[in-house]
Amino acid sequence: MTTKNILLTTTLSLFAILSIAMIPNYEAFAEEEKSGYKMAENVKAVMTFTFRDGVEIHEFPSFSMTTDFVSNTGTTFEVKGVIGESPHLHKALDESYKYRLMIDSANGSWDYDYRYFDVDVDFLRDDIVFSSIGYYNCEILAYSAETLNSGDFESYTSSKSGFAIVDDIEFRCGGLNSNNPVDLSMYEGTFTDYATVPLDYTFAEDVRTIVTFDFENGQERIEYHGFYINSGFGETDDAGPEFSVERTLDFFPLLGKEIDTARKTSALPTSYNSDFNAKVEFVNGKSIRTIDYTDCRINGADIETKSDKEESFTGKSGFAIVQNIDFACAGIDTTNTGYGQMAGTTKVWKTTMTESIAPIHEYNMGQGATAKVIFTYRDGVEIINFPIFDQHNVLDRSYPTFTLEGIVGDFPMLYQRVDENLSIQSVQGSNYVENFDVDVNLMYGEETARVYNYSGCRVTDYEINSAMNKEETYIKGKFAFENTFDFECKGYTPNSPVYDAMFDTTTYAKTLNTGDLRNTDSWGPGFTVQE
């Protein structure tokens, strides 16, 4: 924020306070600041409620939109916080209960002093406002006081757990306005790389997701905590390519402008909503996977607070205010750099076939087996270990199917089959795509306990998702991007090496050969060696 903006903000604030002070019977109340809550990246929401009889400022640790910000389906939001001194807000709650029957009988036209009010939500990072939303003509939609607890003995016995009696309030408003703290025109025609400084979190296998948005009026490159493929790769997907992103709420001016444009035009079929492209890169020091989305629009967005029952309030965990954005696109393409670079790899079987062996991941499998998967393609072999192997019911009278899941990694040959299947989705039938064999070996160290041999397989769906555990992922700072592959095969043969070894009774005849005969020159008397 510039000095000019600071002076302007200070002047307006003083003017607002003096104006309020001059209104008779108009009371301003600021709740004592709550401290001790863990807020991811020090992002918090401060709300100013403007009633007819006064103003209150509250810092609820939990703020969430309960209707989509973009779609024209209503304007509602919810807050949660420990019950404290909130005279005007509690008066509004009490009167909404008192006059609820009169409102119903009057078809919603009954009015009273605390029925309608405005709410300004300021979002701060390190106590500096970076974005705000102004809700107007709001009313109480739902309200309850509840006690949050673990649901078991921990709330009573653990010092890290406990109880939290909170207000849970949902509001319905007549509309909203996005208030940007800076002039967006200064970003027109620029390229801003917000991913230059990586997010200060730990990512499994150090795999990170970066999205470059190419808008009509500029470009922004942003790293995200969460990424989700919603549709586009599945053989049965009816919708076009769609994906979603998630990260702690922050200020990205060009992306924010696109969100506002999508909201303003969502209910107007004749309005113009510009398209843009999005390049999604998965990197771990090098690019391992790229997905290019073209002609995209924003079809959903919201802000929510991730928390976990009482743990967020008692200090065992915390809160994370995040923004979720959904995108719908017209086209999708992929870049598999690793596959094109495999020409110089070691040849096997004295043919032009290649071999790709992914690094072994040290997953914690407890006392269970590790799935070592061998893919045999037309042009080579690829070996990958996956922590998740789900075999679907093989007794069904249908083609055998199974699913593999694991961290996004450098699997060029498998990605090639995913991309080939994507390119022929408009062609019905599996004969138009290469079929390959998959051997799933369940292993304990070097010992194989079980083998599933699948033949004539193809990839039927592919997803990337972020494995998260509510707010805990943000508070502990650990994230994981997960690949999910669905396969359908023509053949299936199970094998049990341990069982086979029980009946391995093959013996070999002990027939003498010349090497087993004694040397004749050492035989006893009467036997001579003929010269």
Handedness of CA 427, 429, 434, 439 (dihedral sign): positive
Contact 406, 388 (CB under 8 A): yes
Beta bridge partners of 109: none
CA distance 253 to 188: 9
CA distance 260 to 132: 13
CA distance 266 to 260: 10
CA distance 35 to 40: 14
Three-class SS state of 229? strand
Contact 243, 327 (CB under 8 A): yes
CA distance 475 to 305: 12
pLDDT recorded at residue 457: 95
pLDDT recorded at residue 528: 52
Beta bridge partners of 35: none
In the chain, the domains with their CATH numbers are: 40-178 (2.30.110.20), 184-335 (2.30.110), 338-503 (2.30.110.20)
User: Which run of H or E residues covers position 9?
Assistant: helix 3-22
Q: Running DSSP on this structure, what letter comes out for residue 394?
A: T
Sheet with 320-335, strands from edge to edge, namely 190-193, 218-224, 208-215, 276-283, 287-306, 320-335, 242-248, 226-231
**Number of alpha helices (DSSP H) and beta strands (DSSP E) in the chain:** 10, 28
pLDDT in tens, the chain (531 residues): 443 343 333 333 433 443 443 344 556 656 545 556 889 999 999 999 999 999 999 999 999 999 999 987 789 999 999 888 889 999 999 999 999 888 777 666 788 899 999 999 999 999 999 999 999 999 999 999 988 877 655 666 566 667 888 889 999 999 998 887 677 788 888 999 999 999 989 998 899 999 999 999 999 999 999 999 999 898 877 778 999 999 999 999 999 999 998 988 886 665 566 799 999 999 998 899 999 999 999 999 999 999 887 677 767 788 999 999 999 999 999 988 888 777 554 444 444 566 777 666 677 777 778 899 999 998 889 999 999 999 988 887 688 999 999 999 889 999 999 998 887 765 555 456 789 999 999 988 888 889 999 999 999 999 999 988 777 788 788 889 999 999 999 999 998 887 777 776 655 555 555 555 555 555 455 545 555
Closest to 334 (Cα-Cα) out of 423, 229, 406, 404: 423
pLDDT recorded at residue 18: 36
Six token digits for residue 293: 């989305």
CA distance 456 to 317: 48
Q: How are the residues of the chain apportioned to helix, strand and coil, as percentages rounded to the nearest 5? A: 20, 45, 35
Q: Calculate the CA 448 to chain-centre distance.
A: 34
